[in-house]
Amino acid sequence: MIEIDIHKRLHGAHGEMNLDVTLEIQKGEFIALMGESGSGKTTLLRVLAGLENAEGDINVEDVVWLGDQKKLPPQQREIGFIFQDYALFDHMNVEENLLFVNDDKALAQRLLEMTELSRLSHRNVKGISGGQKQRVSLCRALMKQPKLLLMDEPLSALDPKMRIKLQDEILKLHKTFGITTIMVSHDTDASYHLADRILVLDHGKIIADGTPEEILCKTSTVTYTLLV
Ligand SMILES: Nc1ncnc2c1ncn2[C@@H]1O[C@H](COP(=O)(O)OP(=O)(O)OP(=O)(O)O)[C@@H](O)[C@H]1O
């Protein structure tokens, strides 16, 4: 289980606000973090990753990541982080990007097979599409077998076809490895299909927490809208 109780003063475009998040996450849960622009979603992920300071406590499976007098550095947190802009090493090929994390060749091959990237494993990442780059980022994040996978709008730079493909890959990998996941997303349809639980952040506070059925309303056969 992951226990979070964090507090941070934010300087927003519309003045000061406090990020106050108290939350328990069960092992293996897939959470979609939604909310308006500037509500604090990215900051929350960055605090969890140790990239931003905050007051409070973070305990991950009984390991203290943040607490009284203690702040575990990002590299010691068992975390995978996927950004909107891929953040791959451009001078390396696909496989090298994975093996940079650790040298488990069998795991790299398995992940590349699962995401249908095997035939690109020796291709330089500069020469592959955005959707393929994001699949490489996903594989690279899983090379660490992290306790927590954080994704900051992983689908938003992709065209609709690629978005659906990546969504399927994310779901497949989540089901296989069962890694506790938090995905920031503005995409209600992707959140509906991927998440077990949706959290809505507003001005730094969680204003809704429930299943996709409780938080999203189906407005057509394929489109969902936030109820809050
Ligand atoms: N380190 C920081 N210290 C203080 N304030 C910050 C810090 N980082 C971000 N902020 C402010 O906190 C607010 C929330 O930013 P954040 O990027 O977390 O929002 P968001 O919900 O992810 O928005 P978006 O959906 O547009 O990406 C912003 O107004 C930002 O200026």
The size of the chain, in residues, is 228
| Angle, alpha carbons 22-31-183 (nearest 5°) | 105
Q: Give me the percent of the chain exceeding a pLDDT of 90.
A: 64
pLDDT recorded at residue 28:
95
Res 39: pLDDT:
92
104 Cβ closer than 6 Å to some ligand 1 atom: no
23-32, 56-65, 169-178: range with lowest mean pLDDT: 169-178
The residue-averaged pLDDT of 140-169 equals 88
- The stretch 96-115 carries a mean pLDDT of 93
pTM: 0.90
Task: Write the pLDDT tens digit of every residue in 129-141.
Answer: 888 998 999 999 9
CA-closest residue to ligand 1 atom 3: 10
Atom 26 of ligand 1: nearest residue by CA position: 37
Please tell me if the CB atom of residue 38 comes closer than 6 angstroms to any atom of ligand 1.
Answer: yes
CB-based contact 222:189 (threshold 8 Å): yes
Nearest residue to 179 via CA among 211, 154, 144, 147: 147
Q: Which of 16-20, 141-145, 173-177, 217-221 has the lowest mean pLDDT?
A: 217-221
| Confidence band, pLDDT 50/70/90 cuts, at residue 226 | confident
Quickly list DSSP for 129-190: -HHHHHHHHHHHHHHT--SEEEEESTTTTS-HHHHHHHHHHHHHHHHHH--EEEEE-S-HHH
Whether 204 lines ligand 1, by a CB cut-off of 6 Å, is no
* For residue 222, pLDDT beyond 80: no
- CB of 40 sitting under 6 A from ligand 1: yes
Q: Quick one: tokens of 14?
A: 């519309």
Average pLDDT over residues 59-82: 92
| Residue 39 CA, ligand 1 centroid: distance in Å | 7
Residues 6+ apart with CB under 8 A from 130: 86, 157, 158, 162
- CB of 52 sitting under 6 A from ligand 1: yes
Ligand 1 centroid to Cα of residue 10, in Å, is: 7
Q: What is the mean pLDDT of residues 102-111?
A: 94
Q: Is the CB of 8 under 6 A from ligand 1?
A: no
Ligand 1 proximity of 12 Cβ (cutoff 6 Å): yes
Confidence of residue 155 (pLDDT cuts 50, 70, 90): confident
- Mean model confidence pLDDT for the chain: 91
DSSP for 49-106, please give it.
HTSS--EEEEEETTEEEEETTEE--GGGS-EEEE-TT----TTSBHHHHHHTT---HH
- 19 with 48: CB under 8 angstroms? no
Is pLDDT above 70 for 221?
no
